[in-house]
Structure 1
Amino acid sequence: MEIQELLEQVKAGTLSIEEAKQYLRKEPFEELGYAKLDTHRKLRTGHAEVIYCEGKSTEHFLEIFTHLYRENGEVFGTRASKEQYLAAKERFPQTVYDETSRIIRIEKNDKPHMGKIVVCSAGTADIFVAEEAALTAEYFGNYVERIYDIGVCGIHRMLANLDAIQSANCIVAVAGMEGALASVLGGLVDKPVIAVPTSVGYGASFHGVSALLTMINSCANGVAVVNIDNGYGAGYMASQINRLVGEQHE
């Protein structure tokens, strides 16, 4: 429950002062033994804790998934396995899983989506990271437009979509190989570009290190870089930027 909701319930008389005090006495995390769930994260940052599913046993994942869903009314996880999805769906039939991005979630149906974020990929092979960014931004309440396969070896494809790209409050540029997409976009727009290097490429790409170094060394202004294959980090950062723009317009 959010503090705003709690105070409104107290004001309306549907929640007693004693019940509200009991809720506020709870520790800012929930102790599970193998995990300490940050149940106050939404109060501090505006977004509830999400689950990094990879490396967690199915049992631990499912209990974390269950507790966060019951606490927040929705839940979001990245790098989930098919086994974890099947376990979650057995307990919560409304669970949704995207095999491309490996994102698992239960989402509120009435969530508003604000502003505009454009997620671009250099190639079709980069879509698994691009979708992680796009679905993350959508989950956190942003309108997202996807523009895929516009890499620099066919730059006319990017230029054909330039109006849509320039209309965004923030652009996420996902690219492997040499990672040039972010620099080109950075020179064409007046909005922040979040560059995401991917592990896509042949041997000398060093599993994304080549693209990472290209993006870090970009001469274009307004380009920031997240870690290799970190679509979630890019989607979250784009959401924060988009939210700031929305607050300025209110």
Structure 2
Amino acid sequence: MSGSGEGAHLALTDPGPLPAAVADPDAVLARLRRSLATLPWPVSLRLNRNRRILISLRGSARRGMRLSIHGGLLGFPAAIDALPQWIRAGGRLTSPSVRAALDELGRTLRAGERAVTKPLELEPLGGQLDLVATMDRIHAQHFAHLPKPAVAWGRGRRQKPTRHVRFATYRSRPVAMVMVSPRLNQPWVARLFIDYVIYHELCHHAQACTPLRGERAHSRRFHAWERGFPGYAQATRWERDHVDRFLA
């Protein structure tokens, strides 16, 4: 596939009020269209109001890319100009201007949320987390019909995350294993949230134990199981309210 001027297509949703710094949204969108048109493959753009995932990239060069960005990024001209480079890199944060824009926008959005609602406080861990005992308890309460996976602490990263935190991961091979981030082993972290993280990974374990052909990791079946966690709403709200502490 070749050509550069016909690749970019805008498929816009209502992004809500744009930043005050965007004096001329139409001009910014035109600039973004021209920027994306420099790519040698089709790119569709969608503006969103997703406060958790500010930017995402799907698709392939062969079939075309689907770019979704928070409307607030239109207030960062340098990041807009750097998007083609970011897309060429497969969505990896190699561009300082894109990274800086995401960091600043994320802080602004989270500050706005805190100003509207008081952060939810739940019973904290208060000490060291007994990871094996926690897995044993959650498995026995909710997944006793399945073989119990192993559990272990993951490796702590030297650099702190700037956009999101991976609290745990699941793998089914060579043996079923849940790896938990040491970031959860802090006295201020809510016990309910830790339980939810383990439960979340056990939902992935349930998928592996009862596979469906072509099923995505976060499928409808998975989400139905996940929402069955007692205290799901509280745990996910606590995560939203306190994620900045993990990123600090």
Q: TM-score, normalised on structure 2?
A: 0.33
Q: TM-score, normalised on structure 1?
A: 0.33
Q: Which has the higher strand share?
A: 1
